Amino acid sequence: MTARNGNLQVLLVAYPCGLPQERDFMTADGPIPRPSDGEILIRSIFLSLDPWQRLRMRDPQQFGRQYGKPVVLNEVIPGAVIGEVVQSRNPRYREGDLVEGKLGWQNYAVSHGDSDRSNDGEGVSKVQTFGLPFSLLDVGRPRPGETVVVSAAAGATGSVAGQIAKILGCRVVGLAGSDEKITFLVKELGFDAALNYKTERDLRESLTSQCPDGVDIYIDNVGGPIADLMLALMNDWARWVVVGHLADYEKPLDQHFGVRAQGHVLARRMRMQGFIVHDYAAQFPIARRRIRQWVHEGRLRYREYIAEGLRSAPRTFIEMLNGANLGKTLVRVGPYVESVPR
């Protein structure tokens, strides 16, 4: 299975405390794996950096039950990758095919051939990002004229979810952490309003005035004190989609102390529901088609922040968690050559 080295890999060497530090990561030169019968060898092109990876970087001793399997120390960090098949021992794949899979932070990986074929010339952002917010609307179920608030609205999930809500006829208000993001949301993506939660003097007051008819859907990527505040703004029959809780990632679930949602959930007969993207995998093909059409029609825009080289992954990941990047964060690991559709 193992042979010559030449497979640059990024490993987690310590569970981060708070915002990860570069010293929590290490690059190593591992062997390029050899595919067995039925497997393919994939060269990574784009690595998708996503907040869920921070959730997996928590010490299982300390956190107990959590969201997905924790990253194992000194092993390759898991992550979605778009790559090129460079060796195939699976009749369904040819060399040169572009595939997508959870191949991790490394230059080469073998797959059991269950990767999605993705040889339509579209990169990670057009696949991974777009499956997510579309499926999410399944939980939120927006209706025309409703008010939707999105937190981390300039991020990969929030920016697309908000735009789809606009397409469906909702009033959309975004929350983000810099004036550049606010401008992007309103001027470029067409949000009805956006608020910088870091600088608003009275965020609750500002949200109330931007949501004169209350809030019907909250797409919550951050949790924390903003969630506590949002609870009081929700309308009867509101839907609260829990996508992430970045504000509390550093704490075990039992120590997310704040306002208990239950009283508000009852008073407003609200529905609060957790959303994990891979539960909706069966709908991805439909989502992609629809999304592609909206992009083609100019109704849906996206931004990518692309860092260069696998070695930049830890720094870029930290920047993303810190809110420094705008749009979907990718790392270009190797050259991207558009494959010829067969």
Shortest reach from residue 50's CB to its own copies, in Å: 14
Q: Which residues, 53 to 72, sit near its own copies by CB under 8 A?
A: 65-67
| Cβ–Cβ < 8 Å for 149, 207 | yes
Closest CB to its own copies among 280 and 302?
A: 280
Rounded CA separation 151/274 (Å): 15
Shortest reach from residue 252's CB to its own copies, in Å: 9
Shortest reach from residue 77's CB to its own copies, in Å: 20
User: 3-state SS of 107-153?
Assistant: CEEEECCCCEECCCCCCHHHCHHHHHHHHHHHHHCCCCCCEEEECCC
Shortest reach from residue 175's CB to its own copies, in Å: 15
Q: Give the CA distances from residue 211 to residues 114, 155, 179, 183, 321, in Å, rounded to whole numbers and listed in that order.
A: 45, 21, 20, 18, 28
Helix (H) or strand (E) holding 284: helix 284-296
- Three-state DSSP at 298 gives coil
Using CB under 8 A as the binding criterion, the count of chain residues that bind its own copies stands at: 39
Shortest reach from residue 133's CB to its own copies, in Å: 16
Binding mask 191-210 for its own copies (x = CB under 8 A): --------------------
Which residue has tokens 């790392």? Answer: 331
Binding mask 278-317 for its own copies (x = CB under 8 A): -x--------------------------------------
Choices 165-173, 180-188, 238-246, 281-289 (CB under 8 A): range interacting with its own copies: 238-246
Closest CB to its own copies among 28 and 265?
A: 265
Q: Is 235 in the site for its own copies (CB under 8 A)?
A: no
- Other beta carbons within 10 Å of 138: 14
Per-residue tokens: 179: 């004036």
- CA triplet 112, 114, 49: central angle to 5 degrees? 100
Phi, psi of 209 (to 5 degrees): -75, -25
Choices 10-18, 146-154, 268-276, 319-327 (CB under 8 A): range interacting with its own copies: 268-276
Choices 2-10, 151-159, 273-281, 322-330 (CB under 8 A): range interacting with its own copies: 273-281
Helix (H) or strand (E) holding 255: none
Q: Is 242 in the site for its own copies (CB under 8 A)?
A: yes
Closest CB to its own copies among 25 and 240?
A: 240
Q: Which of 43, 268, 288, 328 binds its own copies (CB under 8 A)?
A: 268
Shortest reach from residue 247's CB to its own copies, in Å: 10
Q: Which of 223, 317, 321, 328 binds its own copies (CB under 8 A)?
A: 223
Rounded CA separation 42/24 (Å): 26
Closest CB to its own copies among 134 and 294?
A: 134
Instruction: Identify the CA nearest to 207 among candidates 150, 278, 131.
Output: 150
| Cβ–Cβ < 8 Å for 159, 303 | yes
Q: Give the CA distances from residue 55 to residues 58, 106, 305, in Å, rounded to whole numbers and listed in that order.
A: 6, 20, 21
Choices 4-12, 103-111, 240-248, 330-338 (CB under 8 A): range interacting with its own copies: 240-248
Chain residues binding its own copies by CB under 8 A are 65-67, 220, 223, 227-228, 231-232, 242-245, 248, 253-276, 279
